[in-house]
Structure 1
Amino acid sequence: MEDDTGRTLDVAIRQYLEERYPQLAYSFHEAASLSDEPRPDAESVLLKRWRAVLRLQVRISELEEERDRLSEQIEQLQGAFKFRAPPDALPASGASASMVLCGHRGGITAVAFHPTYSLVFTASDDATIKVWDYESDGRLEKTLKGHTDAVNDLHFDTHGHRFASCSSDMSIRLWDSTHMECIQAMRGHDNTVSGVRFVPSGEQLVSCSRDHTLKLWDCETGYCVRTYVGHSDWVRTVDIAPDGKLFASGSNDHNIRVWSLSAPHALHELTEHDHVVEVVAFAPKPTLIQIRDAHAHGQTSKAPPSTAGGVTSTPSRMLTTDTSEGLPSDETSQTGDGGCVGSSMVLFSGSRDKTMRMWDISQQTCLYVFEGHTNWVRGICFHPSGRYVLSCSDDKTIHIYDVNSGYCVRRLDGAKGFVTCVACKHPAPLIAAGALDRELRLWACV
């Protein structure tokens, strides 16, 4: 069959040459030992072969473009190692920000690192989201528009393929973080949407609003699956536990509520803050391990005073001394996805009462009160090592606390306005903070 196809192609070439180069056609005829028997199908063979060549050229071009795109991604991933430092590294005492990035026309309300790429995203009162490449000297990569009022929060799914944003325009938007485009708009709240978080599976997200409710959304359809009612005032903040079964909310009613995704009513209510709760954040697994080990060895509140920004810190108040029963153990704290289960949840909260608190959810008990800020505590995040928790405040500072001792080990200054949000890059420590002065600051850990 292959020999017959080859002979047909030889005849097609000879016919092509006969029209243009008769002498060459005769020489080719003799050299190829072709017969004079006509082949009706020979005329189309050469045309088909040329078309096949053109298709292959197009495919080669597409593959070359894909190769270039993947090479660029590899360079971005390799670039992330520029900021790599020891896992427990912190900025030097009194260190100024490594970068100060400007571009927003309104105060920055939220900041988040991309889980994979060397990108940091900021949300702002100017109704935009900006994307910065911190490996390229803070170059502004993209400005995302779509919301019509202040963007109040943003959050990535586990793999970084998508992120969600929420706004005072009462909407939630789902974005493709590769193509930087909006792929879904969700509406259903009756007032400002102040917080949004993905469930670890990435299939659903939870939002909170000034309409006193929280809502669970299906990311595929954009439909509201469940509404949670219980707070009596503006719900300011929401966070989801590592296992994806529970979530917590903080409100203007001064209370924290802990909910199950599968039930419409709160499981627990934590009431010791005496002002608006601005932020709640579940402790990740590395922090839980640090807390468990500290209690197991009786190390809490025994560390000597340390220097934070040139000022000797004082320890925070430990309210509960016997907490080991409520803290995770090696046998009970781990699930298949590296999360934590029911009775081992530890929650941090920040309030306008100028304190940050650490709670044992299973015991509904406040374990620590972290003190030191002189104004509202607005944001909380965790160091990759698990040893430190960071808080930002309207006192224009960021405090870094040792979760074992309760001491403030660093204080980062420099903002000219209230510091509204803070984030830490995992696994390479890099701290970012946004403020109402419209500037994003980044500190390298050394």
Structure 2
Amino acid sequence: MNQADLAANSYSVDPAEAILDGHQCMVTAVAFHPTLNVLASASEDRTIKIWQYDIGALQRTVLGHTGSVNDLDFNSKGTLLVSCSSDRTIKIWDVENGWGDTKTFVGHEHTVSSVRFMPGDQQIVSGSRDGTVRIWDVASTAELRTVIANAGWIRCVRPSYDGQAILSSSDQVARLSDARTGQTLVEFVGHDLVVEAAVFAPVAAYPAIRELAGHISAAGGPERPGRYMATASRDKCIKIWDCQSGQAIGTLVGHCYWVQALVFHPSGKYLLSASDDYTIRVWELRTGRCVRTVEAHPHFVSCLALNPRSARSRSLVASGGPDMTIKVWDEEAWIQEASARL
């Protein structure tokens, strides 16, 4: 067994940088503020909590939803936070004015599972158990259009970097759809069970993904965001996809149970995953090998978020789950140790 295999099969028990304890039910989502040492967490206890994670302090509890809060996202400037809930609503909170509940978006007919600001922060996109993906105007709260209808339970939505397309997952399929017309551009079929998460790869990851695919160099021309993406599924697998062809480039195998969340490392060399097998795993993209396994929580790991400032400062990752805690990890230490072993 080589050193990389030993790294993948040995479990790290590194202590977290911070453990944030205060929710009364499962933590469903975490989101780092883009400029401050602030982290927002959502929970089935119907609350959003705001933490100063560098000192491990709870700043406030934000109330307003009447059902489980399922997802969170800050806008690009960190002035607004959007949340969605099983109460069928989406809310926007004013970060600079006491985290007040300033807007409520109504129209979904079932649990709202996922929400994100669109590029430019003037619109938001949401996905729901009612089988729809919808785009909303932030200023007026009006629904602008339904991008996808009758697609099964939408678990995850992500806008493309230019806002022209929407990536979504439902049942065993992920879809790339035109954000204006709703036309399905590509369907990604290959998982055996529900696809829990779908995320676009950053341009920095393209060389490693091409090496994984056996194509060492680019075909020529400028690199365009949105060429590749990754999915995580209840079938225990992670797949890397070509968004132009809809073909799977590689399958990452190693988790023992459902894979719930994915984040790309800003270097583009690694992908992190969270699973119901209680672990976070670090994958080397160019080889598809697991190079680090971290025993993250004493129960399922339901969500992951990456510090958006990690490209110019220390890289941190936050995780949460049914143990009702949020843990903040020094992801850069994992990467450095994994790199030293390769």
Aligned residues between the structures: 317
- For the 8 Å contact 1:230–1:266, the answer to whether it is kept is no
Pair 1:365-2:247 in alignment: yes
Query: Residue 351 in 1 paired to residue 237 in 2?
Result: no
Distance 1:247 1:264 in 2: 9
Q: Give distance in 2, aligned partners of 1:236 and 1:402.
A: 26
Q: CA RMSD in A?
A: 1.8
Is 1:95 the counterpart of 2:95? The answer is no
* CA distance in 2 between partners of 1:125 and 1:422 (Å): 16
Aligned residues of 2:21 and 2:324 also touching (Cα < 8 A): yes
Provide the TM-score with structure 2 as the length reference: 0.88
Tell me: CA distance 1:324–1:246, structure 2 relative to 1, closer, same or farther (3 Å): farther
Match of 2:274 among 392, 403, 417: 392
Query: Which secondary structure does the structure 2 equivalent of 1:159 belong to?
Result: coil
Give the % identical residues.
37
3-state SS of the aligned residue for 1:166?
strand
Q: Is 1:257 the counterpart of 2:175 in the alignment?
A: yes
| Aligned mate of 1:333, from 203, 209, 223 | 223
- When residues 406 and 361 of structure 1 are mapped into structure 2, their CA distance, relative to the original with a 3 A threshold, is same
Instruction: Give the letter for the 2:223 counterpart.
Output: S
- Match for residue 53 of structure 2 among 111, 115, 134: 134
Out of 39, 54, 61, the position equivalent to 1:143 is 61
Q: Does 1:266 align with 2:184?
A: yes
Give 1:217's match in structure 2, choosing from 112, 118, 136.
136
SS in 2 for 1:392: strand
Secondary structure in 2 aligned to 1:291?
A: helix
Q: Tell me by how many angstroms 1:256 deviates.
A: 0.8
1:332 to partner: Cα distance = 1.8
Distance in 2 between residues matched to 1:181 and 1:286, nearest whole Å: 37
In the alignment, the residues of structure 2 paired with residue 281 and residue 231 of structure 1 have an alpha-carbon distance, to the nearest angstrom, of 22
Shift of 1:190: 0.3
Structure 2 CA distance for aligned equivalents of residues 198 and 431 of structure 1: 20
Q: How far is 1:324 from its partner? A: 5.5
Please tell me whether residue 243 in structure 1 is matched to residue 162 in structure 2.
yes
Structure 1 gaps of 5+ residues are 1-91, 301-319, 335-339
Q: Which residue of 1 aligns with 2:340?
A: none
The aligned residue for residue 121 of structure 2 is: 202
Measured after TM superposition, the shift of residue 283 of structure 1 is: 1.0
In structure 1, the residue matched to 2:152 is 233
- Correspondences of 1:433-444 after superposition (within 5 Å): 433-444=319-330
Point out the more displaced range, 218-227 or 92-101.
92-101
**Cα distance in 2 between the residues matched to 1:350 and 1:421:** 12
Structure-1-length-normalised TM-score? 0.68
Which residue matches 1:321? 214
Deviation at 1:182, TM superposition (A): 1.6
| SS of the residue 2:54 aligns to | helix
The runs of 5 or more residues in structure 2 that have no matched partner are: 1-10, 334-342
1:109 match: 28
After superposition, the Cα gap between the structure-2 partners of 1:365 and 1:324, relative to the gap in structure 1 and judged at 3 Å, is farther
Secondary structure of the 1:135 match is coil
Residue 288 of structure 2 is aligned to residue 406 of structure 1:
yes
Between Structure 1 and Structure 2, the one with more helix by share is 1
Larger gyration radius, structure 1 or structure 2: 1
Matched, 1:171 2:64: no
Residue aligning to 2:263: 381
Distance in 2, Cα, partners of 1:270 & 1:231: 17
